[in-house]
Amino acid sequence: MNLWRYQWLLYGVVACIVIVPYFMLERVNRVIHQADQMVAHTAQVESVTSKLLYEVRDLEAAAATITEGIDVPNVRRRVAETSGAIPKLMSQLIELTSDNPQQQVRVGELKAKIEQRRSFSLRIIDESNQAERRRLLASVVNDFPMRGAANDVLNEETRLFAERSAEAVRLRKQGHWINLLTTTAQLALLCLLLWTTLRYQRERQIAEETATRANARALAVMQSIREPIALLDRDKHVVMHNAAFEELYGTDDDDIDGKHLREIGSGAWTNRETLQRLRDVVSRGRELWDFEIEQTTADGIQRTMLLNARRMNLPDREDEVALVILSDISNQKASEEEISELNRQLEGKIEQVSDVNRELEAFSYSVSHDLRAPLRHISGFAEKLGRQLGDDADDKSRHYIATIDNSARRMATLIDDLLVYSRLGRSALRLQPVDMQSLVAETRALLDSNVSIDTPDRKIEWHIDVMPMVVADENMMRQVWLNLLGNAVKYSTPRERTHIDVGYQRLDDGRHEFTVKDNGVGFDMQYAGKLFGVFQRMHKASDFPGTGIGLASVQRVLTRHGGMIAAESAVDQGTTFRFTLPAMLDNPVKSLSTDT
């Protein structure tokens, strides 16, 4: 519980203990006082009524005395006093019962009878005839009885007195219980306040202990950080620092805390721009991010430091401080310079490679144009020489002429394959979605057509899995499938029935793996290291035609696509080629596998 919540709780408890009981008791006392006033009011009404009746009877007694012939001054004085007191008492009774309409009606009836009896009593007193006096006196008693009306008024007041007395007693008991409950509630609230205070003190103690441990942990973490860290006040005096800061800018026998930045680090903090920026951090709330400064620290080493600073508040200080974090990037700067130098050297190497590529292009142009013409001449003149000799040529001459022609043709094929291999390494990749299913189908159709022309009786069984859509250079991928499937067909020629399986699977790392498996003659795996080299062959040219460049071209294409190729084989047990391509813009398409 924080302080302000505790204060508001304290205020609420005080209000409950003092203010609420006060108003409750004040209200109860006010009601009891009103009840007591009503009881006194009822007693006053009864007193006035009794006194009024007494005065009326006193007046009638005086009239009876005079009627009996006793007419003395004292009796006349009593008549005068009583006659004058009756109207006043009646007016007072009417005023006292003005708050009770029903009682006013009864008082009105009583007033009428009293007025009549008073009037007749005065007539009796003023009458000189003794007989008339007796008649009038008898008429007052018989014709104007007032006991019933007076009893009604008194009974009503008695009833009201009983009700109001009972209400007063009830309110006093209620006030007693309210007082008791209020006292009990006050004691309970005092106990609650005491318990809350003790709990708050305990929570505060726990919070202080937690804060102390947190500060200790924060200080331990701060001291363990190898980056120099310091807190600065508005005047750039060091408030707190870690061991790395002291190690870089302090000395063994000197305490850094409380000192100005200019006084530490052997002049490392004398730069005016740096000090101004730190002043702006505290005074204006600006932040420093990755501000590079050059410093010569206490150990005499020239360093490049990366300065970061921002303003922050401390719980034990009213003024704000600047948190300063430094990073030594001297090695990084040296590495950047070294990398820049290596980049400059690399640019020179790239220029050299560009020159070599230009020379290679010139060589390719020379091969494709200058060497083809002599080969065409050799082949053409060999053919003319054969026609010139005609039937006169012996077998040896015809053999020589055929060898010259075949060698020229083979040389032309080698030149074409070399040009293809060169273009595969130099031409730019035109990446696009490539349907591998369609490429395999096209290559298979081309190979089936050639086989049906060269060896009509040969049977080839194909099994092709569903191929995906990959991102690659379509022409280069076509070259890959042409070489791999062509080799499978070529090296399976000795078999009565050729089986070629083209498979595909998705590896766990997302790469695409393709396989081409045949039941051909295979090769010895101890020579597998030469398999993908230029002009490297595993079989005699007389057994299987070819230039030895096809697999080298395949490896170059796959390497440029970020893939790789490998082969598994054994002599006379067929060969399996596996090559992979990276996963890019996967969009597999469903195709039906083909079995023929």
Kindly indicate the confidence band of residue 11, based on its pLDDT and cuts at 50, 70 and 90: low
pLDDT above 80 (res 570): yes
pLDDT above 80 (res 561): yes
Query: How do residues 290-337 score in pLDDT, each as one tens digit?
Result: 888 888 777 778 888 888 888 888 776 777 888 888 888 888 888 888
Among the listed ranges 126-140, 255-269, 473-487, 496-510, which one has the minimum average pLDDT value?
A: 126-140
Contacts of 134 (CB under 8 A, 6+ apart): 67
Q: Do 118 and 152 fall within a single domain?
A: yes
Distance separating the N- and C-terminal Cα atoms of the chain: 84
Asked whether residue 205 is assigned to any structural domain, the reply reads no
Q: Burial code of 117-148, b = ≥16 C-beta within 10 A, e = fewer?
A: bbebbebbbebeeeeebeebbeebeeebebee
Query: How do residues 539-555 score in pLDDT, each as one tens digit?
Result: 555 556 655 677 877 88
pLDDT above 90 (res 516): yes
Taking alpha carbons only, the member of 282, 290, 284 closest to residue 323 is 282
Q: What percent of the chain has pLDDT over 90?
A: 6
Contacts of 461 (CB under 8 A, 6+ apart): 497, 498, 499, 500, 595, 596
State both tokens at 301: 């080493």
Kindly indicate the confidence band of residue 596, based on its pLDDT and cuts at 50, 70 and 90: very low
Max CA distance (Å), the chain: 213
Last residue within a domain, chosen from 270, 303, 328: 328
Asked whether residue 66 is assigned to any structural domain, the reply reads yes
Taking alpha carbons only, the member of 561, 263, 312, 555 closest to residue 421 is 555
Tell me, what DSSP letter sits at residue 134? H
Residues in the chain: 596
pLDDT above 90 (res 514): yes
pLDDT above 90 (res 515): yes
Provide the pLDDT for residue 544: 61
Q: Do 370 and 487 fall within a single domain?
A: no
Taking alpha carbons only, the member of 516, 515, 556, 518 closest to residue 534 is 556
Strands (E), 453-556: 459-464, 469-473, 497-506, 512-518
Kindly indicate the confidence band of residue 588, based on its pLDDT and cuts at 50, 70 and 90: very low
Average pLDDT, the chain: 76
Asked whether residue 552 is assigned to any structural domain, the reply reads yes
Provide the pLDDT for residue 359: 63
Given a contact cutoff of 8 angstroms between Cβ atoms, the answer to whether 93 and 107 are in contact is: yes
Give CA–CA dist 440/482, Å, rounded: 8
3-state secondary structure of 392: helix
Query: How do residues 172-207 score in pLDDT, each as one tens digit?
Result: 787 778 778 777 877 877 787 788 778 878 888 887
Kindly indicate the confidence band of residue 505, based on its pLDDT and cuts at 50, 70 and 90: very high
State both tokens at 540: 């005699």
Strand order in the sheet with 238-241: 238-241, 229-232, 321-328, 302-312, 288-296
pLDDT above 70 (res 281): yes
pLDDT above 50 (res 496): yes
pLDDT above 80 (res 510): yes
Higher pLDDT among residues 311 and 72, named by residue: 311
Provide the pLDDT for residue 358: 63
Provide the pLDDT for residue 502: 93
Half-sphere exposure of 490 (CA within 13 A, CB side): 15
Whole-angstrom CA distances from 6 to 25, 187, 315, 475, 537 are 28, 19, 20, 81, 93
Number of domains into which the chain is organized? 4
Provide the pLDDT for residue 504: 93
Provide the pLDDT for residue 587: 42
Provide the pLDDT for residue 547: 57
Backbone angles phi, psi at 479, to 5 degrees: -65, -40
Asked whether residue 347 is assigned to any structural domain, the reply reads yes
Asked whether residue 199 is assigned to any structural domain, the reply reads no
Which amino acid, one-letter code, is at 538? M
Q: Do 472 and 568 fall within a single domain?
A: yes
Provide the pLDDT for residue 205: 84
CATH of the domain at 287: 3.30.450.20
Q: Do 22 and 171 fall within a single domain?
A: yes
Q: Do 322 and 366 fall within a single domain?
A: no
Q: Do 316 and 180 fall within a single domain?
A: no
Q: Do 171 and 230 fall within a single domain?
A: no
Q: Do 447 and 533 fall within a single domain?
A: yes
The alpha carbons of the chain give a radius of gyration, in whole angstroms, of 64
Last residue within a domain, chosen from 283, 310, 328: 328
Query: How do residues 53-62 score in pLDDT, each as one tens digit?
Result: 777 777 777 7
In order, the DSSP letters of 135-201 are HHHHHHHHH---HHHHHHHHHHHHHHHHHHHHHHHHHHHHHHHHHHHHHHHHHHHHHHHHHHHHHHH
Give CA–CA dist 509/514, Å, rounded: 15
Give CA–CA dist 563/580, Å, rounded: 5
Kindly indicate the confidence band of residue 466, based on its pLDDT and cuts at 50, 70 and 90: very high
Whole-angstrom CA distances from 168 to 33, 41, 97, 158, 556 are 8, 13, 20, 15, 116
The answer to whether the Cα torsion of 224, 229, 233, 239 is positive or negative is positive
pLDDT above 50 (res 48): yes
Asked whether residue 17 is assigned to any structural domain, the reply reads yes
pLDDT above 90 (res 147): no
Higher pLDDT among residues 455 and 24, named by residue: 455
Q: Do 20 and 164 fall within a single domain?
A: yes
Provide the pLDDT for residue 90: 80
Strand order in the sheet with 512-518: 564-569, 575-581, 512-518, 497-506, 459-464, 594-595
Q: Do 56 and 81 fall within a single domain?
A: yes
Which amino acid, one-letter code, is at 573? Q
Taking alpha carbons only, the member of 446, 536, 539, 525 closest to residue 493 is 539
Which amino acid, one-letter code, is at 29? N
Backbone angles phi, psi at 271, to 5 degrees: -70, 125
Q: Do 565 and 582 fall within a single domain?
A: yes
Contacts of 228 (CB under 8 A, 6+ apart): 241, 242, 244, 245, 247, 248, 249, 325, 326
Taking alpha carbons only, the member of 110, 200, 187, 209 closest to residue 153 is 110
Last residue within a domain, chosen from 163, 184, 205: 184
Give CA–CA dist 205/115, Å, rounded: 88
pTM above 0.85, yes or no: no
Q: Do 161 and 288 fall within a single domain?
A: no
Kindly indicate the confidence band of residue 592, based on its pLDDT and cuts at 50, 70 and 90: very low
Provide the pLDDT for residue 437: 93
Kindly indicate the confidence band of residue 356, based on its pLDDT and cuts at 50, 70 and 90: low
Given a contact cutoff of 8 angstroms between Cβ atoms, the answer to whether 334 and 249 are in contact is: no
Asked whether residue 503 is assigned to any structural domain, the reply reads yes
Give CA–CA dist 97/108, Å, rounded: 10
Kindly indicate the confidence band of residue 50, based on its pLDDT and cuts at 50, 70 and 90: confident
Q: Burial code of 265-297, b = ≥16 C-beta within 10 A, e = fewer?
A: beebbeeeebeebbbbbbeeeeebeeeebebeb
Write the burial class of residue 253 (CB in 10 Å: 0-12 exposed, 13-18 middle, 19+ buried): exposed
Provide the pLDDT for residue 262: 81
Name the range with the highest mean pLDDT among 257-266, 340-349, 531-540: 340-349
CATH of the domain at 434: 3.30.565.10
Query: How do residues 78-118 score in pLDDT, each as one tens digit?
Result: 777 777 778 888 888 788 777 778 777 777 777 777 777 77
Asked whether residue 417 is assigned to any structural domain, the reply reads no
Higher pLDDT among residues 6 and 311, named by residue: 311
Q: Which whole number is the average pLDDT over 514-538?
A: 74
Given a contact cutoff of 8 angstroms between Cβ atoms, the answer to whether 35 and 171 are in contact is: yes
Q: Which domain holds residue 401?
A: 337-407
